[in-house]
Structure 1
Amino acid sequence: MFKRRKPRSTLAHMGRWLYPRGGWWRAILYMVHRLRRLPDPAYKISRGIAAGVFTSFTPLFGLHFLVAAGLAWLMGGNIVAALLATFVGNPITFPVIAGVSVGLGSKLLGQDHPLPLDETFDAFSRVSVELWTNANALLTGGSVEFDGLDLFMSRVFLPYLVGGIIPGVLAGLAAYAISRPVIAAYQKSRIKRLKKKFEKQRRAAQTSAARRLKKEATDG
């Protein structure tokens, strides 16, 4: 009932991921708009944002929403804010995040030569295909092979995971420090606007009631 009449092709899905409908600027404005309308206090929203930003520095692609929501829950932050903040990890920023994380992780793990960025993304693609093929093999009774998984775990996933912790924590703390005063100021300003609007409506109602009573007294 709710499916598209003409299913979107794989290429179209990739295009939407790389360039959302309306462009990245519209996507950013939508995220900011959603954050502004969250009802929680500023500190809870900022904790959620920090959780989402940190999650963007992990190699757990496909699980970012779950990880961000779990971290936000543990931190007492807003889960919706955490989900929205994972937008920090996008096709524009992932090359920088992956390059920094894999390079730093390789040094921390004592690996002399970290994989180049193109080989890192190629490794993710190859292991994804391998996992998908093995999943189908389990259902069809075929042979399961993990030829590239060991290399992927040692040279890509583990360095990415270890190396992403430090910049992820720093980025999360920066996001918290920047967003909390901004959100708090916006919420205070919004409360003032709502109070002024309510007061204006109250005065208008009182004036209207006074005129009605005056008219009734004159007619009587």
Structure 2
Amino acid sequence: MWRRWRMIRQVKLQFLRFARLSGTPDDIAKGMALGIFIGMTPTFGFQMAIAVCFAWLLRENKLAAALGVWITNPVTAPFIYALEYETGRVLLSMERVHLPANFTFAALRPLGWEVVLPLCFGSLLYALVSGALAYAVTLRMIPVVRNWRIPRWPRRRR
């Protein structure tokens, strides 16, 4: 029966890998906070490389940073970036961008800074808040999770 629930099994395995990361809870929490901070920035596609490079430079947990980046994945990224754009637009008192009728490079070029500036400002705000929250939650969660006894999956009888 458990073999049919592959998604649940994968979630459990990823959770166990996270719980068994080597290092102190502080190191893992700093790496996770760094990864989530970078994951909230609009650098989609390069986030993992950026997180691992910064973790290496700052001597933080590289694997935790790479795991934290996955806060923005193909499912959550549109919602996160839309929220960041709207927040930045409201805080900067900018008008909402309207797409032109024809999609040519000349028509889309002026929209660049009108989209990038509020998106970057909003993402910086959300990155700071979510990075701090991730550090606090992960720091308290790692010692608790390491003490859990998680049973093995039932084996199929032959």
Same fold? TM cut 0.5:
yes
Query: Identity percentage over the alignment?
Result: 29
Out of 174, 180, 195, the residue aligned to residue 133 of structure 2 is 174
List aligned pairs for 1:93-104, cutoff 5 A: 93-104=76-87
- Tell me whether 1:44 sits opposite 2:23 in the alignment: no
Residues 173-182 or 99-108, more deviating: 99-108
Report how far residue 73 of structure 1 moved.
Answer: 3.2
Task: Select 1:64's aligned residue among 47, 65, 77.
Answer: 47
The answer for unaligned runs of 5 or more in structure 1 is: 1-21, 120-125, 127-144, 194-220
| 2:138 is equivalent to residue 185 of structure 1 | no
TM-aligned CA distance change 1:31 to 1:149, over 3 Å:
farther
Structure 2, gaps ≥5 residues long = 1-5, 150-158
| 2:97–2:111 Cα contact (<8 Å) kept | no
- Alignment-derived partner of residue 72 in structure 2: 89
Determine if contact 1:106/1:114 at 8 Å carries over to the other structure: no
Q: Kindly indicate whether residue 26 of structure 2 is the aligned counterpart of residue 32 of structure 1.
A: no
1:130-168 CA deviation, whole Å, 9 max, x = no partner? xxxxxxxxxxxxxxx954663353132332121101111
Residues 88-138 of structure 1 deviation map (CA, whole Å, 9 limit, x = unaligned): 1123322321121101222333312256xxx7xxxxxx9xxxxxxxxxxxx
Question: In 2, are the aligned partners of 1:102 and 1:114 still within 8 Å (CA)?
Answer: no
Pick the structure with more helix per residue: 1
| Residues 147 and 33 (structure 1), Cα distance of their counterparts in 2 relative to 1, 3 Å cut | farther
Compute the displacement of 1:37 (Å): 2.1
Are 1:56 and 1:86, in contact at CA under 8 Å, matched by a contact in 2? yes
List aligned pairs for 1:121-160, cutoff 5 A: 147=106, 150-160=109-119
Between the aligned partners of 1:105 and 1:28, the Cα distance in structure 2 is 34
Bigger Rg, which one:
1
| C-alpha distance in structure 1 between counterparts of 2:140 and 2:127, whole Å | 21
Is residue 43–residue 180 contact of structure 1 (8 Å, CA) maintained in 2? Answer: yes
